[in-house]
Chains A and B, each alone.
Chain A
Amino acid sequence: MSRHREEHLELCAARVLGVLDEAGERELEAHLAEGCAQCEAELRALSGGALVLAMSVEQHRAPAAVRARVLAALESGGASGRQAEPGAVERPRRPWVASPAGALLAAAALLAVALAGVTTWRRTDELTRELGAARAITDSLQRSLDEERRWAAVMSAPDARTVKLAPTPQGAPALAAEVHYDPASDRALLFVQGFVPPSDRDYELWAITAAGPTSLGVVHAGPDGRAVVRVERLTRDGAVAAFAVSLEAAGGSPDHHKPSGPVVMLGKLAS
């Protein structure tokens, strides 16, 4: 048996987070297969830690529309076939075998029929479920497409307005950002480049109205510093006069209506 080593515990942690590489996975699997109570207990404890992480996120209400779609998909496809009795086979009315060999043959035949029944039932059940799921996926793709079209329309809307944000003296010269705003749908798209914040810092986007600034959220760009941010109901706090970007501690400003770090970009909406 492969002796338990301290490194096995670290492999357990990586596995729980789903970041264990292939070699590590093979090593841990081989070790666990031989039975290691310490690693098993460790995996349980670490999984609990991962769950705590999952529960640490800011809580939102799941949209009722998703609930309706999921339950509808189940009703249309999955639930119906599952109530049937599996593999119900009618018994022959009278025995038609006289010899022990015949009895064995008959038993085998019956078993085959019963198995075929079970298999057919399972297959039908699976297919019905697959069909329900496929329908739900088609619906969901259609919705995604419609949603993407709506966002694309922001760019081509006749009244769409574009605001270029410029770095302030506190901002890095490489920062670039542009907002496209469609007053008709009250949606805005923000395109950014060069958004690579120093470590432990985040860039946060702000809409400035007569009432003051309102956070539109932290901008998480990819490793290349680019991102596209979608903003719904932009003018919920009143007409937007300008957009700004501030450099905040990781996670953004604690005050939703006041940047706590320096404003690094600014762009006024021409009236």
Chain B
Amino acid sequence: MNETERDRRCWERVAGGDPTAFTELYDRYADLLYSLALRIVGSTSDAEEVLQDSWLQAWRSARTYDPARGAVGAWLVTITRTRALDRVRSLGSRRRAEGAATVEAAADPPAPAPDPATGYARRALRKDVAAALTALAPQQREVVELAYFEGLSQSEIAARLNAPLGTVKSWTRQALLKLRERVPVEALP
């Protein structure tokens, strides 16, 4: 059974009211979602809020989640990213202190460690992900990062990079496809 299938079954148990299934999923994805939120909002206290709100939103919409529209992991990532970008917009300013954030995060008591099997798989995956990013042309990487992490529209990106809108659109697509090609399908959440 691959991770997507395992998550789907787990979420079915969540929708059926099984709290242990929710805890299982939480422990599998909380680090990823927290790290994503932190990358977008830039402060640990905001990232914590985003993480908490995202899980509560996922719980509230447990019954409306449709597996046909995407894997559980991808759905959780989308919820978290959207909430994080909303938070940045509502804060009005993008304050970030990545160094301070690292220290603050490290000061919290550690959460339960992931099981060794997924730990190994995750490390291998992380290597593939890093390699996929490095392999992108710098402009392609910049456009997708500005869109994904900053929530900038393609016109805003074009203005910021002083590049034609059509070019930004084609860079965006090429970058996403390249990222996808370089990371094994079955490894994605």
Give the shortest distance, in Å, between B46 (CB) and chain A (any CB).
Answer: 8
* Beta-carbon nearest neighbor of A234 in chain B: B100
Tell me which residues from 37 to 81 in chain B have a Cβ below 8 Å from any Cβ of chain A: 38-39, 42-45, 48-49, 51-53, 55-56, 59-60, 70, 73-74, 77, 81
1/0 per residue, CB under 8 A from B, across A143-165: the answer is 11001000000000000000000
Centre residue among B96, B101, B133, B176 by max chain A CB count within 10 A: B176
List the A side residues contacting B105 at CB < 8 Å: 60-61, 63
List the A side residues contacting B51 at CB < 8 Å: 62, 66, 70
**With A13-B176, A215-B99, A229-B97 in contact, is A65–B35 under 8 Å at CB?**
no
List the A side residues contacting B95 at CB < 8 Å: 220, 227-230
| Assembled-state Cα–Cα distance A73/B49 (Å) | 13
List the B side residues contacting A232 at CB < 8 Å: 100, 103-104, 107
Other-chain contact of B180, A45, A64, A199, A227 (Cβ < 8 Å): A45
Interface flag for B161 (CB, 8 Å): yes
Interface flag for A71 (CB, 8 Å): yes
| Assembled-state Cα–Cα distance A60/B52 (Å) | 15
List the A side residues contacting B170 at CB < 8 Å: 10
Size class of the A contact interface (CB-based, 8 Å): 35 or more
Contact A56 B130 (CB under 8 A): yes
1/0 per residue, CB under 8 A from B, across A109-139: the answer is 0000000000000000000011011001100
Contact A66 B34 (CB under 8 A): yes
List the A side residues contacting B145 at CB < 8 Å: 53
1/0 per residue, CB under 8 A from A, across B165-189: the answer is 0000110110111111011010011
| Assembled-state Cα–Cα distance A256/B60 (Å) | 41
Give the shortest distance, in Å, between B48 (CB) and chain A (any CB).
Answer: 5
Size class of the B contact interface (CB-based, 8 Å): 35 or more
Contact B179 A71 (CB under 8 A): no
Interface flag for A94 (CB, 8 Å): no
Interface flag for B2 (CB, 8 Å): no
Other-chain contact of A216, B30, B100, B149, B183 (Cβ < 8 Å): B100
Give the shortest distance, in Å, between A36 (CB) and chain B (any CB).
Answer: 16
Give the shortest distance, in Å, between A12 (CB) and chain B (any CB).
Answer: 8
* Beta-carbon nearest neighbor of B143 in chain A: A17
| Assembled-state Cα–Cα distance A13/B176 (Å) | 8
Contact A219 B97 (CB under 8 A): yes
List the A side residues contacting B52 at CB < 8 Å: 66, 69-70, 73, 136, 140
* Beta-carbon nearest neighbor of B27 in chain A: A67
Interface residues, chain B, with chain A CB atoms under 8 Å away:
16-17, 19, 22-23, 26-27, 30-36, 38-39, 42-45, 48-49, 51-53, 55-56, 59-60, 70, 73-74, 77, 81-82, 85, 93-111, 125-126, 129-130, 132-133, 138, 144-145, 147-149, 151-154, 161, 169-170, 172-173, 175-180, 182-183, 185, 188-189
| Known contacts A12-B173, A59-B126, A73-B52, then 11 further A-B pairs from the complex at CB < 8 Å, ordered by chain A residue | A10-B172, A14-B154, A45-B180, A46-B176, A48-B183, A53-B144, A54-B81, A55-B189, A56-B130, A62-B111, A233-B104
Which 7 pairs, one residue from A and one from B, show the smallest C-beta to C-beta distance? A217-B99, A49-B176, A82-B17, A62-B34, A62-B30, A63-B108, A13-B173
